[in-house]
């Protein structure tokens, strides 16, 4: 389903206008709805008021990316997923329950969609005040900030980026480097730096021992993932650079993802808060290094 089909299906029908989220100066289309179920930490099924049908739509949170859940169930104990995935789902459920299941949905464009799902800011009313659920999840470090530049949904960027940077500074949840379990080289000082112009991520070993990066993986804020192959090591004080684009020959110092299109959003001086992040995970699913920009 293309963007215009998504607009027709979820569309401007029943929409009013208002702030994109509490405190935002940017105006959005606004819908209301009743949550039928929370699927995972960034997706929920909503019966949208005024759309001419009682069939729920699967709605994707704007600017928030949860870790992937693999087993879905209304019974929390039966769910399975990546480390941190279930915690994000549980928190989203908690917020929805506290708001009585009623949500306010917002978008700068009714046609905005992600994987055939309407892309929306989602707010719940708790104690008489609307609260943005995505911002809650980002500030708690339960999800990554994920900009959607191609979809034109930028109103959340600055606030969500600052929320993610705050969670990173506090080293909470995703940004707690041994939250999943004590991993390999846990005490090592490792950094990951993204160059969005060159589309590269450089992993540097600042420790005094050689680090084996086999099965470690790098992702951007989307679902794309590069896994280092068996035998990939970084000597003390040295770096390995992952080139997103191109098809060069892998060496000890350079690895090639071989993607055909850029993945890192380019910050520009247009007031829309463009940016992105690069994230390095160990085999246990712990986030070990990150670079969220602009800082």
How much is the pTM? 0.93
Same domain, 81 and 223: no
Q: Among 170, 201, 228, where does a domain finish?
A: 170
b/e code 75-109 from CB counts within 10 Å (16+ = b): eeeebebebbbbbbbebbbebbeebebebbbbbbe
Q: Give 13's pLDDT tier (boundaries 50, 70, 90).
A: confident
In a domain, 250, yes or no: yes
Mark whether 152 and 73 lie in a shared domain. yes
DSSP state of 68: P
Residues 97 and 166 in one domain: yes
DSSP structure class, residue 21: S
Residue 212 domain boundaries: 183-293
Average pLDDT over residues 93-105: 98
Average pLDDT estimate for 120-147? 98
**Residue 177 included in any domain:** no
**Same structural domain, 197 and 260:** yes
Report whether pLDDT(79) > 80: yes
Residues β-bridged to residue 191: 204
Q: Is the pLDDT of residue 10 over 90?
A: no
Q: Strand 113-114 vs strand 117-126: parallel, antiparallel, or unpaired?
A: antiparallel
Q: Is the pLDDT of residue 55 over 80?
A: yes
Phi, psi at 8, each rounded to 5° = -65, -35
Considering the domain architecture, whether residues 121 and 31 belong to the same structural domain is answered as: yes
- List alpha helices for the chain, DSSP H: 3-10, 85-98, 133-139, 157-170
| CATH number of 204's domain | 2.60.40.1260
Question: Is 200 inside a domain boundary?
Answer: yes
Please give the angle made by the CA atoms of 166, 270 and 4, to the nearest 5 degrees. Answer: 95
Which of these three, 170, 197, 229, is where a domain ends?
170
Query: Do 218 and 265 fall within a single domain?
Result: yes
CA gap 32, 46 in Å, rounded: 9
In a domain, 285, yes or no: yes
pLDDT for residue 173 is more than 50:
yes
Is residue 252 domain-resident?
A: yes
Domain end: 170, 198, 223, which one? 170
11 and 151 part of one domain = yes
Q: Are 161 and 39 in the same domain? A: yes
Residue 264, domain member (yes or no): yes
Residue 154 sits in a domain of what CATH number?
Answer: 2.40.50.90
Question: In this structure, are 85 and 22 located in the same domain?
Answer: yes
Over range 238-263, report the average pLDDT.
96
pLDDT of 2 > 50? The answer is no
Please indicate, yes or no, whether residues 109 and 189 belong to a single structural domain of this protein.
no
Q: Are 80 and 70 in contact (CB under 8 A)?
A: yes
Query: Do residues 148 and 25 share a domain?
Result: yes
Q: Do residue 136 and residue 79 come from a single domain?
A: yes
Number of domains in the chain: 2
Contact 138, 30 (CB under 8 A): no
- What is the spatial distance between Cα 188 and Cα 109, in angstroms, rounded to a whole number? 45
Is residue 176 included in any domain, yes or no? no
Q: Mean pLDDT of all residues in the chain?
A: 94
Measured distance CA(77)–CA(80) in Å, rounded: 8
- Is position 28 within any domain? yes
């Amino acid at each position: 389903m293309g963007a215009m089909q998504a607009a027709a299906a979820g569309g401007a029908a029943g929409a009013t206008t208002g702030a994109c989220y509490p405190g935002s100066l940017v105006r959005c289309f606004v819908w209301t709805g009743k949550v039928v179920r929370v699927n995972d930490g960034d997706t929920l099924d909503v019966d949208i008021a005024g759309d001419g049908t009682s069939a729920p739509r699967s709605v994707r949170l704007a600017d928030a990316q949860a870790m992937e859940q693999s087993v879905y169930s209304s019974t929390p104990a039966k769910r399975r997923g990546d480390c941190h995935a279930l915690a994000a789902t549980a928190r989203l459920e908690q917020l929805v329950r506290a708001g009585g299941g009623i949500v306010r949905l917002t978008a700068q464009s009714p046609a905005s969609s992600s994987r055939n799902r309407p892309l929306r800011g989602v707010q719940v009313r708790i104690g008489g005040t609307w609260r943005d659920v995505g911002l809650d999840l980002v500030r708690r470090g339960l999800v990554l900030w994920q900009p959607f530049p191609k979809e034109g949904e930028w109103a959340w960027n600055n606030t969500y980026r600052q929320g993610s940077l705050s969670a990173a500074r506090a080293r909470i949840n995703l940004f707690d480097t041994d939250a999943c379990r004590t991993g390999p080289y846990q005490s090592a000082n490792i950094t990951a730096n993204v160059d969005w112009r060159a589309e590269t991520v450089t992993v540097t070993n600042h420790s005094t021992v050689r680090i084996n990066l086999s099965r470690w993986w790098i992702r951007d804020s989307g679902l794309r993932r590069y896994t280092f192959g068996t035998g990939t090591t970084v000597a003390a004080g040295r770096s390995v650079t992952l080139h997103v684009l191109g098809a060069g020959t892998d060496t000890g110092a350079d690895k090639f993802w071989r993607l055909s299109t850029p993945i890192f959003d380019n910050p520009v001086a247009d007031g829309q808060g463009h940016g992105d992040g690069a994230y390095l995970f160990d085999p246990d699913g712990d986030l070990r290094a990150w670079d969220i920009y602009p800082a």
